[in-house]
Structure 1
Amino acid sequence: MKTRHRALKLDGIPHWVTPDDVRRMAERAKAEGILDVRLHSQDGLPTGKASIEFATSLQTKRAASLLNNAQISAVPITVTGFEHGAHKPFSRRGKMDPAAFGSRLGLAGANAPATTVIYGFPRKFTVVDVRTFLEDYRLTTWGIAREAFVPLMNSNWQARWAVHLDSLSDAHRLARHLHMKRFSFGDGGERTLGARVLYSQDESSASLPART
């Protein structure tokens, strides 16, 4: 298999992983010359696809053999092809502008370093209910309560909320703990929650202090 491309396309990436997780997976498989990793998103949500850029096309070719059926958290990864290396390094954070959600993300949406979207809550959940549900996770939220916890959608049976956080690590930690896990909500019965991480467009916002 010949290639002059310097980036490898992957599929089957679990939504909760970070670019560093993908890099570590590749390094465990003995891939060399990794320059950067990019997680692909659509409308602010992970697609399960990623790209790894290498220093040379030869290293890319070798990595294609090493990484096919490699695993992250026991989930097998598939190599789907090659692509040209970026003119500048891929973003390590796989950024996607939360503006894709319009004004629904609320006042803090454009400035929060990271946001986790949680869906599957009982339809009548309020901001107090969401805060109470999440208090054991000891998260540092971005902004005051009415800005940090934002309702996105209520259907006939579930509610979706955005939680604006002060760090991307908190956002990923929350998604890992909640996604596809079942919780009891009293009269609301048992429900399986879903969670996705959004990314701030402003790279520098990650270093801003949380507002109180």
Structure 2
Amino acid sequence: MASGVQRHVKRPQTSSCALGPVTPSGLHVRATNVPRTAIPADIKRVCVRHKIENVSHVALDYWRFSPTGQAWLTLTSPTFLPHTVNALNGAVISGKLLQAAARDPMPQSQLARTRGVKGRLEAAERGIITGSGPDGGRTGQGKGVVIYGLPGKFGAEAVRTYLKEFKLAASEDGQKEIVKLEVPPSKATLKSRFYVRLASVAEAHRLVRRFHMTFFEPNYYQNKYTIRAQVVY
């Protein structure tokens, strides 16, 4: 018969020193072992549960728009760094134990060719948006969608026509609505992928529900082109 007494196991507290050097800025924490299905809201709930405050931004880490299992937390002041690292270590999200360390992400500004409005326009024209780093290097916050599997010869205008029933975001600050993404040289393919900026989070999710795991023009191509779509948070 159960006694009704619950055993509480104290999570290990690890100092930031044991996790490596403190970030130069003291404003960033990297969380690892993050479930690849997690979204920023899941990590924010963990912060609330463990009384981690003064977090100004939570970003998932991506490699070519695929989640890497890491996340970045930006703090409002270095004062909160030790508590944030200690509290996140051992916190549970979807059955996985998080690990945290004081780290700074590699700044996107180090990529000189994408610096500034002109640089971003040139990057979009040349298809060199890699989708790597915090937020995938984008600022959509759930309004961006990556679409895979369209015919390789498709261009941005063809995609715009294909998505005519959806409301796209306006082009601003050098960020185009639709960008054809480069394919790694080691992965030659007859298919293409695009990054699409939608007008709202709801519209981004509607696009994914409409197209993910469907076939492109099945009456003509049968099952040759399987479309996959995912929201980038």
Cα gap change, 1:53 to 1:77, in 2 (>3 Å): farther
Q: Which residue of 1 aligns with 2:168?
A: 139
- The root-mean-square deviation of aligned C-alpha atoms, in Å, is 4.6
Q: Which residue of 1 aligns with 2:190?
A: 157
Query: For residues 48 and 178 of structure 1, what CA distance do their matches in structure 2 show?
Result: 26
Aligned residues: 176
Q: Encode CA deviations 1:174-195: one digit per residue, 9 max, x unaligned.
A: 785479x211222233414144
Contact 2:127 2:181 in 1 (8 A): no
Cα gap change, 1:58 to 1:105, in 2 (>3 Å): closer
2:201 is equivalent to residue 183 of structure 1: no
Higher relative contact order (CA 8 A, sep 6+): 1
Q: Encode CA deviations 1:65-122: one digit per residue, 9 max, x unaligned.
A: 4x32x22xxxx5441x331377xxx9xxx98568399845228999x85454422112
2:177 is equivalent to residue 125 of structure 1: no
Contact 1:182 1:192 in 2 (8 A): yes
Query: For residues 173 and 53 of structure 1, what CA distance do their matches in structure 2 show?
Result: 26
Query: For residues 198 and 97 of structure 2, what CA distance do their matches in structure 1 show?
Result: 32
Q: Which amino acid aligns with 1:136?
A: E
Cα gap change, 1:183 to 1:8, in 2 (>3 Å): same
Deviation at 1:52, TM superposition (A): 4.2
Q: Which has the higher strand share?
A: 1
1:21-60 superposed matches below 5 A: 21-27=42-48, 30-36=49-55, 37-42=58-63, 46-52=67-73, 55=80, 57=82, 60=85
3-state secondary structure, aligned to 1:136: coil
2:228 aligned to which of 178, 183, 193: 193
Contact 1:119 1:160 in 2 (8 A): yes
3-state secondary structure, aligned to 1:159: strand
3-state secondary structure, aligned to 2:50: coil
Q: Which residue of 1 aligns with 2:177?
A: 148
Deviation at 1:46, TM superposition (A): 4.2
Q: Encode CA deviations 1:20-63: one digit per residue, 9 max, x unaligned.
A: 44213443xx2112332343344676423114478364564344
Which runs of no fewer than 5 residues in structure 2 stay unpaired? 1-11, 17-27, 130-137
1:67-106 superposed matches below 5 A: 67-68=91-92, 70-71=93-94, 76-79=95-98, 81-84=99-102, 96=108, 99=114, 103-106=122-125
**Percent of aligned pairs with the same amino acid:** 17
Query: For residues 189 and 125 of structure 2, what CA distance do their matches in structure 1 show?
Result: 22
Query: For residues 205 and 97 of structure 2, what CA distance do their matches in structure 1 show?
Result: 25
Contact 1:9 1:49 in 2 (8 A): yes
2:34 is equivalent to residue 3 of structure 1: no
1:61 aligned to which of 69, 86, 90: 86
Query: For residues 179 and 206 of structure 2, what CA distance do their matches in structure 1 show?
Result: 16
Contact 2:127 2:182 in 1 (8 A): no
Which runs of no fewer than 5 residues in structure 1 stay unpaired? 199-212
Query: For residues 60 and 148 of structure 1, what CA distance do their matches in structure 2 show?
Result: 37
